Amino acid sequence: MTWTTLSQQPRAAELLYHSLRNDRLAHAYLFAGPRGAGKKQMALHLAKSLFCTEKEADACGACLACRRIEAGNHPDVLLITPDGASIKIDQIRHLQKEMAMRAVESFHKVYIIEHVDKMTVQAANSLLKFLEEPPEGVVAVLLTEQSHAMLPTILSRCQIVQFSPLSPESIAEKLTAEGISPGLARIVSHITSNLEEARALSQAEWFAQLRNVMIQLVQECKQHNSTVLYTIHDMLQKSDKIKEELPLFLDLLILWLRDILYVQADRHAHLINNDQQDVLQGQALIWTKTELLHGIDLVMETKNRIERNANPQLALERLVLQIQEG
């Protein structure tokens, strides 16, 4: 991994690389952006680039320093995460004590604080004082998904680096490179912008089952008989996981109905479920455009109803009956 291969966040990577190259590194950074955008990965790469013995202003990933940082046991790199629901003042006091000591293996010391917005008031005030008078050679990297929840005085003492949500194309490309099938990688990349979540979904057997049942449900909806209601009952009885993930099931259903519309409009390049083109082609012949648009609206209403604690099975059965009624 190098700065050039951190392509998911090119602006952040370029800024940090040039700061290192020109010896203009700030004493404190705030990496702000959504979950799964690569903030921690970037923070660790910054630390590796400071300590790497093989590359200048970058990290080889293979030397002893890089490997120790990756393993979390480098003496001059400290990672702090919330203790329970918050980061407590004792953690910040321990941090200050560690950072005040002379660096063991170089001039620099680095501390990374995850979910820095979850500090207690006492911890935040203590960190503020530390940021105001940082020891020489110490670099702070604060990570947050909610910069608006932080003290303005802390924000004003950090160089803020914004992280954007990963694009579906970026996530799909990374998953495919890891051996995930292109079709599955494309689907999960449109379900979540969190790379870790996308990876977990693509590897979960229940997710594949969820998708297969969704495709079956769409087919049975057009048969105007009670088979589809048995399918729903069977699906929910067999798996508590599927019952828990019903909003995700409905997200998949929206993407599928939209794909049928794309097939009808001969816009195959836009298909999300492009590994199921033959099935989509067959279903495009039995659904009208009006039915599909109405169906998408009904699915969105059902998702809102379930998120407001409606009974999952009743909500899904009602959705199917409404779709069948046209």
Q: Final residue of a domain: which of 105, 135, 165?
A: 165
pLDDT of the residue at 81: 94
Which domain does 44 fall in, by range? 3-165
| Same structural domain, 138 and 8 | yes
What are the pLDDT digits (tens) for 188-218?
999 998 888 899 999 998 898 888 888 888 8
For residues 160 and 16, membership in a common domain is answered with yes
In a domain, 268, yes or no: yes
11 within some domain: yes
Task: Compute the radius of gyration of the chain from its Cα atoms.
Answer: 25
Residue 176 within any structural domain of the chain: no
Is 178 a domain residue?
A: no
Amino acid in position 210 = L
HEC letters along the chain: CCHHHCCCCHHHHHHHHHHHHCCCCCCEEEEECCCCCCHHHHHHHHHHHHHCCCCCCCCCCCCHHHHHHHHCCCCCEEEECCECCEECHHHHHHHHHHHHCCCCCCCCEEEEECCHHHECHHHHHHHHHHHHCCCCCEEEEEEECCHHHCCHHHHCCCEEEECCCCCHHHHHHHHHHCCCCHHHHHHHHCCCCCHHHHHHHHHCHHHHHHHHHHHHHHHHHCCCCCHHHHHHHHHHHHCHHHHHCHHHHHHHHHHHHHHHHHHHCCCHHHCCCHHHHHHHHHHHCCCCHHHHHHHHHHHHHHHHHHHCCCCHHHHHHHHHHHHHHC
The model's pLDDT over 247-278, given as tens digits with 9 standing for 90+, comes to 898 999 999 999 999 999 999 999 999 899 99
Q: Is residue 209 part of a domain?
A: yes
The per-residue pLDDT for 312 is 75
**155 and 210 belong to one structural domain:** no
The answer to whether residue 48 scores a pLDDT higher than 90 is yes
Using CA atoms, how far apart are residues 103 and 105, in angstroms rounded to an integer? 6
* 159 and 226 fall within a common domain: no
pLDDT in tens, 140-194: 999 999 988 888 999 999 999 999 888 898 889 889 999 999 989 999 999 998 8
The CATH code of the domain that includes 86 is 3.40.50.300
Position 183 in a domain: no
Choose among 173, 175, 248: nearest CA to 209. Answer: 248
pTM of the predicted model as reported, rounded to 2 decimal places:
0.70
Q: In this structure, are 111 and 209 located in the same domain?
A: no
Q: Which pLDDT score, from 0 to 100, does residue 219 have?
A: 83
Asked if 166 contacts 37 with a C-beta cutoff of 8 angstroms, the reply is yes
Please indicate, yes or no, whether residues 157 and 243 belong to a single structural domain of this protein: no
Task: Tell me, yes or no, whether 245 and 311 share the same domain.
Answer: yes
Q: Which of 134, 165, 196 delimits the end of a domain?
A: 165
Same domain, 152 and 46: yes
Which of 116, 139, 165 is the last residue before a domain boundary? 165
CATH of the domain at 272: 1.20.272.10
Domain-embedded: residue 97: yes
The total number of structural domains in the chain stands at: 2
- Residue 171 counted as domain residue: no
Confidence check: pLDDT of 304 > 80: yes
Whether 153 and 237 map to the same domain: the answer is: no
Tens digit of each residue's pLDDT (9 = 90 or more) over 313-326 = 788 778 888 887 76
Q: Do residue 227 and residue 155 come from a single domain?
A: no
Is residue 32's pLDDT more than 80?
A: yes
- Range from 6-10, 127-131, 163-167, 239-243 carrying the lowest mean pLDDT: 239-243
Does residue 237 carry a pLDDT above 80?
no
| 218 in the same domain as 131 | no
Query: Are 134 and 16 within one domain?
Result: yes
